[in-house]
Structure 1
Amino acid sequence: MSQTVDDPEGRLVSMIMEANKYARFAAVCDKDGNILWNSHRNNVDNILTLDETKQSLRRAAETWKVRDTLAEKIGRGQYAIVGYEKIKRITVPLQNGHMLFVSIEGEKPEYIKDIMKIVDYVERNH
């Protein structure tokens, strides 16, 4: 699974994987969707290939760029949840322009509160 790291974003990924047993995969990517940090839960089969995951991250990053064009009028986006039959995908823009991406098992969207607490903690203590 994950290991303890000193970088705030690496620590964020590790904390999410350790704190949430339903998290399948967590990553931080840059504004173009390139993976900077990631962790995959042991004993969980990948649903998507690595290339499919990278494509998904690039699309999510592009979607956040579009959302950001409206921020002056409606405020900065806090998170987005996309629900699929098998998983929920949560994306959270970070203060430095990077993006947190978490894949959660099935019907567990209530864990967004836990994830946001960890994001807030890491960003406050960065």
Structure 2
Amino acid sequence: MDYDQICRSVLALDPKVRFAGICDETGETKYGGMREGMTSLLSPQESQKSNLQAVGRWGLRKSLTSKTGKGIYAMTEYEKLKRITIPLDDDHLLVVTTEVDADHGNIISNTLKLVKQ
């Protein structure tokens, strides 16, 4: 899986996608980044902390997969953005942030198609 290409493709899906990045189990963004011209709402340290929290939540979800099935994605809406997380493998999580008024359903659907390719 070409992680850089996935991030570029997600950013190209919709102009309301602010960020597409892939982090590892430490929360560090290893691939991708902000859309050109956009300013991050979080510092690099805050972004890593936010990613690490998302990684931790996915770890908790995994503990229930025998009953619920494997998690496909999670989406949280905040006052200033939406954040979508998609597990790629045991060590990588795709994090996508969008504007609040973005069509997250369409972005999620198309992102899942990209990830499955």
Normalised to the residue count of structure 2, the TM-score between the two structures is 0.90
1:76-95 aligned at under 5 Å gives the runs: 76-95=70-89
Measured on the aligned residues, the alpha-carbon RMSD in Å equals 1.4
Match of 1:50 in 2: 44
Structure 1 CA distance, aligned partners of 2:19 and 2:100?
13
Q: Which runs of 5+ in 2 are unaligned?
A: none
Structure 1 CA distance, aligned partners of 2:34 and 2:28?
16
Q: Which runs of 5+ in 1 are unaligned?
A: 1-6, 122-126
Q: Is the 8 A contact 1:32 1:62 kept in 2?
A: no
Q: Deviations over 1:91-117 (max 9, x none)?
A: 000135311000011122222112111
Matched to 1:112, the amino acid is I
Structure 1 CA distance, aligned partners of 2:34 and 2:65?
32
Q: Deviations over 1:27-80 (max 9, x none)?
A: 111123222112211121221111111110000001100100001111000000
Q: The residue matched to 1:63 in structure 2 has which SS?
A: helix
Which portions of structure 1, spanning 4 or more consecutive aligned residues, are displaced by more than 6 angstroms? none
Match of 1:65 in 2: 59
- Say which is worse superposed, 75-84 or 10-19, in terms of deviation: 10-19
Identical columns (%): 30
Match of 1:31 in 2: 25
Match of 2:35 in 1: 41
Q: Is the 8 A contact 1:17 1:39 kept in 2?
A: no
